[in-house]
Amino acid sequence: MKILFLGDYSNYHRCLAEALRRMGHDVTVASNGSRWLNTHRDIDLSRKVGGRIGGLLLWLKLQLLSHRFTGYDVVQINSPTFVDLRPEKVRRLFDFLKRKNRSVFMTAMGNDTPFVKMCIENDSPLRYNEWQIDGAPGPHRVESPMSLDSWLQPSIAAHCDYIYEQVDGVLTALYEYHLSCRRIVPRERLAYAGIPIDTSTLKVEVGRNVPRKLKLFLGMHRDRQVEKGTYRLLAAARRVVEEYPEECVLEVVENVPYDEYLSLMCHSHVILDQLYSYTPATNALLAMAQGLTAVTGGEAEYYDFIGEKELRPIVNAEPDDERLYESLKELVLNKERVIENIDANREFVRRHNDAHVVAQRFLDFWQKRLKELQR
């Protein structure tokens, strides 16, 4: 098939594109490179300057490149806001894609109005998330109320509703996003895909001997520390390192490009990822594919959702500072368990998130929907 990925987060679509190319498909990736991550793409859609001038320049570029966005069997956008433009401009581009291509699908892999609404409801199916914890506003919601309000604006909400109604299908990246989509997307137009990880390019670099010092690694998004809860993970890790300086060491990096991040992470033993997720996301899965132990989302609901009954290697991070500290201390004082877990970590990713596994889920769903659309 001829496939266009339009927009990207955390190298998701680019990784998926590489797997599909190896399977014989013709794939193009157009994105902003996930901003500072600077992930690879075939067509660069980054905004070179801010403000209205930057938006105008990007819109003009899209007009000049419009011929490169036509004639595909599948166009896969990465969210309702798949380019960095105002909703009315995004909608015009979306309508163009619908007219000029066989189908348009969406990958649910980030915040949008339906997801945010689910997170803040009194009866939310999530006990905790970045917006709400046990029914009370979470730190991110308290510190950045405008971030929440931006998704609840009538213009943005209407835009998200329009995209969800008009796409030919939605594939979800995380269990949480699937919960949200299940409320508004008909069953026949919805499928879970997971996050693709190219396990063939990721090797186990860490030694298999029990180390004298356990290496803890934390990669931080400068502007998303509260949203991801990394400042709380950092505090717990520093507390453990201060208490057991002879048993562990902590490395912290901030806003480094994707390729550099991978090279820095691979020689650690434990990666501290994020706090408010039920599901391991890209960073955690990349680490696990290299045998590292991930402290991140790993709730029982997620394991049950993917049908995994035995292999449960994730150290589940909950928004409880004392539990975080105790979980990290247990790893530091039982370093042999981290080494014993290397193969289980890698096997989990190979089984559930290998790029070819995820690519096949996309292909199966696309082909099913294209047949239904032809009827």
> Tens of pLDDT along 17-31?
999 999 999 999 999
Binning the chain into helix, strand and coil, the percentages to the nearest 5 are 50, 15, 35
Residues 290, 205: Cα–Cα separation, whole Å: 7
pLDDT of residue 105: 98
Whether residue 225 has pLDDT greater than 90: no
- What is the signed CA dihedral for 243, 216, 292, 299, rounded to 10 degrees? 70
pLDDT tens per residue, range 103-118: 999 999 999 999 999 9
> How far is 1 from 21, CA to CA, in rounded Å?
10
Is pLDDT above 80 for 222? no
* Nearest to 204, CA basis, from 309, 352, 338, 317: 338
CATH classification code of 2-196+355-374: 3.40.50.2000
Report domain extents, the chain: 2-196+355-374, 199-352
Beta carbons within 8 Å of 60's beta carbon, 6+ residues apart: none
What is the rounded average pLDDT of the residues 316-342?
Answer: 95
Work out the mean pLDDT of the chain and round it to a whole number: 94
Q: What does each C-alpha distance from 242 to 318, 329, 359 come to in angstroms?
A: 22, 11, 44
Q: How far apart are CA 298 and CA 343, in angstroms?
A: 17
Q: How confident is the model at residue 224 (pLDDT cuts 50, 70, 90)?
A: confident
* pLDDT at residue 203, rounded to an integer: 92
**In whole angstroms, what is the distance from residue 75 CA to residue 100 CA?**
10
CA distance 280 to 284: 6
Q: What is the pLDDT of residue 36?
A: 65
Q: Is residue 329 pLDDT above 90, yes or no?
A: yes
Average pLDDT over residues 158-184: 98
Averaged pLDDT, 158-167 = 98
Rounded to 5 degrees, φ, ψ at 160 are: -60, -45
Residue 193 and residue 358 in contact, taking contact as beta carbons nearer than 8 Å: yes
Average pLDDT over residues 353-371: 98
The CATH number of domain 199-352, selected from 3.40.50.2000, 3.40.50.300, 3.10.20.90, 3.90.228.20: 3.40.50.2000
Per-residue model confidence as pLDDT tens digits over 55-82:
899 999 999 999 999 999 999 999 999 9
- The share of the chain scoring above pLDDT 90, in percent, equals 84
What is the C-alpha separation between 126 and 337, in angstroms, rounded?
30
2-196+355-374 and 199-352 agree in CATH topology? yes
Among residues 51, 100, 98, the alpha carbon closest in space to that of 71 is found at 100
Contact yes or no for 244/332 (Cβ under 8 A): yes
| Tens of pLDDT, residues 283-327 | 999 999 999 999 999 999 999 999 999 999 999 999 999 999 999
The answer to whether residues 77 and 51 touch, using CB atoms and an 8 Å cutoff, is: no
